[in-house]
Amino acid sequence: MWKALVLAIALAREVIADWQFRSRPDLAPPRLNITIPPTKDVEKGYLFVAPFAGLQDTVNEQHGPRQAGPYIFRDDGDLIWSGYGYYSIWATNFLTVEWEGKPVLACFEGDHNPGYGHGHGHVTFLDQHYETIRELRAGRHKISDKHEFWTRDGKTAFIQIYQPVPRLLKKYGAKPEQQWIVNAIIQELNIATGEVLFEWASLDHVSPDESVLPINPGQAGSGYNSSDAWDYFHINSVDKDPAGNYLISARDACSVHKIDGKTGAILWRLNGKQSDFKFDKKAGKFCFQHHARFLEQYDDIEVISLYDNSAHGTEAGDGGEVHTAPTSSGKILKLNTTSWTAELVQGYYPPDDLLSKSQGSTQVLPNSNVLVNWGSEGAMTEYLPNGTAIFHAYMDSGLLGVGVENYRAYRYNWTGFPNEEPAIVALEDDKGTSIYVSWNGDTETKHWRFFERASKGSTVNRLLGEIERRSFETMLRVDNITDVEVFAEAISHDGAVLTGTRPTIPQPNVSPPHGHSSSWSDLDGEQLVQQILDT
Ligand SMILES: *[C@@H]1O[C@H](CO)[C@@H](O)[C@H](O)[C@H]1NC(C)=O
Ligand SMILES: *[C@@H]1O[C@H](CO)[C@@H](O)[C@H](O)[C@H]1NC(C)=O
Ligand SMILES: *[C@@H]1O[C@H](CO)[C@@H](O)[C@H](O)[C@H]1NC(C)=O
Ligand SMILES: *[C@@H]1O[C@H](CO)[C@@H](O)[C@H](O)[C@H]1NC(C)=O
Ligand SMILES: *[C@@H]1O[C@H](CO)[C@@H](O)[C@H](O)[C@H]1NC(C)=O
Ligand SMILES: *[C@@H]1O[C@H](CO)[C@@H](O)[C@H](O)[C@H]1NC(C)=O
């Protein structure tokens, strides 16, 4: 009895994700909890995220998102595309890039090792029809890690690899049996062929002395075996400037290094134990950072952006946490390579004092707004250039919002023409019929036109109505159709018919009463248990 109750509550909680879309009852995308609604100043484009559950499900507790995967959302939380089932294994760093002159979706998919913050897999590319067109793997018998995939020219890509290697580590405080260390490697690959154009390995250039996390105890691996290798450097981003030099972010050294693209020599180090720069203010300093990007270079100045976690800790929270500032932040830094000074141009500080012990990103947008993603805190914020927050959302809401994490968030434009046909369902009740239609990934439909067929097999169609598409799913309510086939056509902004659904026969409506997705608790657990006990 007790067990049945617990199970019923667990099921009731799962119900929370149900019926967001009548035409796609299989989809349970995260419901964004938007606490700062977007102002008119947000940059144009959609939000690209790949939220996942940071907590394990138990029999009486389920965590969001129910369907971890890559998603494209509008600013009001409306779904454009659910990538659940497209990227079928653990997916992260979901973005769009141009490859060979065409916009494509790219996303890491693979195995996730949350304990060590590593991932092993490959980057999968989808075209504008959401068809897989390429998988990119690291070269030279190494396995790509999850942290980076990035391209500047749409021809070559930067990725990184955590390669465990045995070394004598006694002088770094290790016992003789602690001999495994992670060689943090970056590669630049030809996307089309996979050819390795450049490779650089941290152990050739960076001493383990630069690490801020000692080999003991447990925070970054203790070196007893290859899967527990000491992650002394932990590269989590790679970028390249027009001169052909690289910028890497090394979380476990709390530093950003610039690397000569020809010789591999370190040109400078910013922050960390051996910084070449002095900071004008303490506020410019950072630690355990992510996502360093070149923004601008002129004269003796280099401007970069990064995400400053200022926190480190194990995912389970049992390894202790290190905090170096009260909150995490996005940062733009200006470096002068004559005076060797680093200046904080602007910091982007979180609503709700968020401090993320892992992950995170800072994307400077074309209009100079900045999108900051708070990693392990499962939230993102868009700012005006001066640091004013104009949009903030948590990546799931209610019970399902607890423990949701997201590695990076981006804003991009995107045009999607799904190869799959649109989904339709017609649900009949006492007073009439509601016809619902949706087309996962479509960005082009402006109106949906609904028709009925006078009789089965007839070719005479009667227009039931035309509804402007405002959301993932569009509904037409009609009073008096019964037992006739209905279908819908997607109409583009210039009036062209993009595609049509197959015809469907209305079926009895057994779904909970109308009430849209944003009210997440259609039925709470207690109520459902009561209903089950009553029957
Ligand atoms: C590797 O070392 C860690 C830390 O000592 C230990 O927990 C783990 O069981 C070891 N794994 C294997 C496969 O021996
Ligand atoms: C960088 O610093 C040097 C030395 O202080 C100074 O002469 C130079 O003007 C600075 N560069 C810029 C672009 O401000
Ligand atoms: C930031 O810029 C906006 C728009 O220009 C302005 O309204 C706001 O007062 C500025 N905020 C700060 C703190 O300067
Ligand atoms: C949204 O997030 C805020 C801030 O964390 C929280 O107080 C609120 O309960 C959340 N709302 C929902 C519907 O989850
Ligand atoms: C999207 O396209 C518009 C119009 O071209 C442009 O102004 C905007 O900067 C683009 N947004 C992004 C995120 O690139
Ligand atoms: C539905 O009702 C409208 C308006 O009363 C009427 O014009 C139409 O013929 C009816 N359709 C059917 C299939 O009964």
Q: 36-74, pLDDT tens digit by residue?
A: 999 999 999 999 999 999 988 888 888 889 999 999 999
| CA 484 to ligand 6: nearest atom | 13
Report the distance separating Cα 112 and Cα 287, nearest Å.
Answer: 23
| Residues 436 and 366 both lie in one domain | no
Most distant CA pair in the chain: distance in Å? 84
| Residue given tokens 């102002």 in the structure block | 39
Q: What mean pLDDT do residues 104-131 have?
A: 96
Which residue's CA is the closest to the ligand 4 atom numbered 4? 35
**62 vs 50, 460, 521, CA distance in Å?**
18, 49, 15
| Residues 210 and 303 both lie in one domain | yes
Q: What mean pLDDT do residues 315-342 have?
A: 87
Confidence (pTM): 0.92
| Residues 215 and 344 both lie in one domain | yes
Residue 315 lies in a domain: yes
Q: What is the CATH number of the domain that holds 475?
A: 2.60.40.10
Say yes or no: CB of residue 98 within 6 Å of ligand 5: no
Higher pLDDT, 80 or 314: 80
Residues with CB under 6 A from ligand 6: 480-481
Of 179-183, 191-195, 477-481, 489-493, give the lowest mean pLDDT range: 477-481
Say yes or no: CB of residue 22 within 6 Å of ligand 5: no
| Residues 347 and 486 both lie in one domain | no
Range of the domain at 214: 91-370
Which residue's CA is the closest to the ligand 3 atom numbered 14? 386
| Residues 314 and 461 both lie in one domain | no
| Residues 249 and 328 both lie in one domain | yes
Q: Could you give the number of structural domains in the chain?
A: 2
Say yes or no: CB of residue 179 within 6 Å of ligand 1: no
By DSSP bridging, strand 361-364 and strand 370-373 are antiparallel
The pLDDT tens digits for 405-444 are 999 999 999 999 999 999 999 999 989 999 999 999 999 9
Residue 1 lies in a domain: no
pLDDT at 456: 66
Q: What mean pLDDT do residues 460-482 have?
A: 92
Report the distance separating Cα 446 and Cα 467, nearest Å.
Answer: 9
| Residues 337 and 452 both lie in one domain | no
Q: What is the CATH number of the domain that holds 350?
A: 2.120.10
Residue 534 lies in a domain: no
Residue 223 lies in a domain: yes
In testing the pocket of ligand 2, which one of 297, 336, 343 has its CB within 8 Å of the most ligand atoms? Answer: 336
| CA 396 to ligand 4: nearest atom | 14
Report yes or no: 347 and 331 within 8 Å, Cβ to Cβ.
yes
| Residue ending a domain, choose from 370, 386, 403 | 370
| Residue ending a domain, choose from 343, 370, 397 | 370
pLDDT at 11: 42
**8 vs 25, 109, 387, 525, 533, CA distance in Å?**
20, 33, 46, 7, 10
**195 vs 109, 140, 192, 216, CA distance in Å?**
20, 9, 8, 37
The pLDDT tens digits for 178-207 are 999 999 999 999 999 999 999 999 999 999
Residue 526 lies in a domain: no
Report yes or no: 63 and 87 within 8 Å, Cβ to Cβ.
no
Tokens of 204: 């050739």
Which residue's CA is the closest to the ligand 6 atom numbered 8? 480
Residue 391 lies in a domain: no
| Residues 174 and 299 both lie in one domain | yes
Report the distance separating Cα 53 and Cα 402, nearest Å.
Answer: 8
Residue 36 lies in a domain: no
CA of 343 to the centre of ligand 3 (A): 21
- Give the ligand whose atoms come closest to the C-alpha of residue 180: 1
Residue 434 lies in a domain: yes
pLDDT at 443: 98
Residues with CB under 6 A from ligand 4: 33, 35, 394, 397-398, 401
| Residues 100 and 192 both lie in one domain | yes
Say yes or no: CB of residue 228 within 6 Å of ligand 1: yes
The pLDDT tens digits for 386-400 are 999 999 999 999 988
Say yes or no: CB of residue 45 within 6 Å of ligand 5: yes
